[in-house]
Amino acid sequence: MHKNQAVSRGMFRFLLANVNTGSRSCWDVLMATKSGHWSQGLLAAMNDVTAVVDSDDKLVVIKDKYPKAKYHFLVMPRRKIPSLKHVTKTDLDLLRHMQKKGEEIAERANKELQFRFGYHAVPSMSHLHMHVISQDFNSPFLKTKKHWNSFTTQYFVDSHSVIKNVEETGQWSPDVQDADKLLKQNLRCHVCKKEFDTIPSLKVHIVLHDVTKPSHTKS
């Protein structure tokens, strides 16, 4: 056997045994070694026909590969914009279009559930993307305090707030202090703010809340 083949097979066996599939797959890691860091994966996902759910001449919408709720999508511009830090007033129409597209996707996915639309203050993935996420948080991929707090604290910046900030200042000027501390906060229910020690106990509690839109609330 050729030496390089032996090394490749050995690496593959190592990845199969050690990669945590709850966050990234073996395939993701293998591709990262060939095409760059895993944080660049969104650009590739935009061309993945199995992930894309909608698109137009300005945007692409994909399903989040590891959704943190029953419905979780990412709205991304076709134009390369690394993050909110690179957004200016010239991008306001794009930001508004992203918000509108997100609302359309949410309505199409489920007319009854509440959704939020926004950005992580410090995104882990490169390329601007807006999250469209249902508020049931019913997903096996939601496993850690970091996962939870990234969507239920000030770490998650509402899309309308971003648009208003850019309108007023000409750029995104985050007022989120100590973002890392937000991810380490105690677990709190996003509806009633009750604290919990573990994600499993929090998940059991969440289902007790009605997270449908007011017009669909059961009497």
Residue 29 lies in a domain: no
Residue 51 lies in a domain: no
Mean pLDDT score, 82-91: 94
Residue 50 lies in a domain: no
CB 132 within 8 A of CB 72: yes
- Return the beta strands (E) in 37-106 as ranges: 52-55, 59-63, 72-77
Residue 5 lies in a domain: no
pLDDT value at position 125? 82
The pLDDT confidence band at residue 22, using thresholds 50, 70 and 90, is very low
Residue 119 lies in a domain: yes
Helix (H, G, I), strand (E, B) or coil at 99: helix
In the chain, pLDDT over 70 holds for what percent of residues?
78
pLDDT value at position 108? 97
Residue 137 lies in a domain: yes
Backbone angles phi and psi of 132, in degrees to 5: -120, 105
Mean pLDDT score, 68-89: 95
C-alpha distances in angstroms, 129 versus 25, 52, 187, 209? 21, 14, 25, 28
Pairing status of strand 72-77 against strand 195-196: unpaired
How many residues in total does the chain contain?
219
Selected catalytic residue, list 72, 120, 127, 129: 129
Active-site residue flag, 129 = yes
- Looking at residue 48, the DSSP 8-state letter turns out to be -
Residue 178 lies in a domain: yes
Residue 111 lies in a domain: yes
Q: Which residues pair with 61 in a beta bridge?
A: 54, 75
Range(s) of the domain holding residue 172: 57-216
Total of domains in the chain: 1
User: What's 98's domain CATH number?
Assistant: 3.30.428.10
Q: Which pair of structure tokens corresponds to residue 122?
A: 């410090």
Between 46-60, 61-75, 133-147, the lowest mean confidence (pLDDT) is in: 46-60
User: Longest Cα pair distance anywhere in the chain, in angstroms?
Assistant: 69
pLDDT value at position 32? 41
CB 70 within 8 A of CB 139: yes
Is the pLDDT reported for residue 148 higher than 90? yes
Q: How many CB atoms lie within 10 A of CB 36?
A: 13
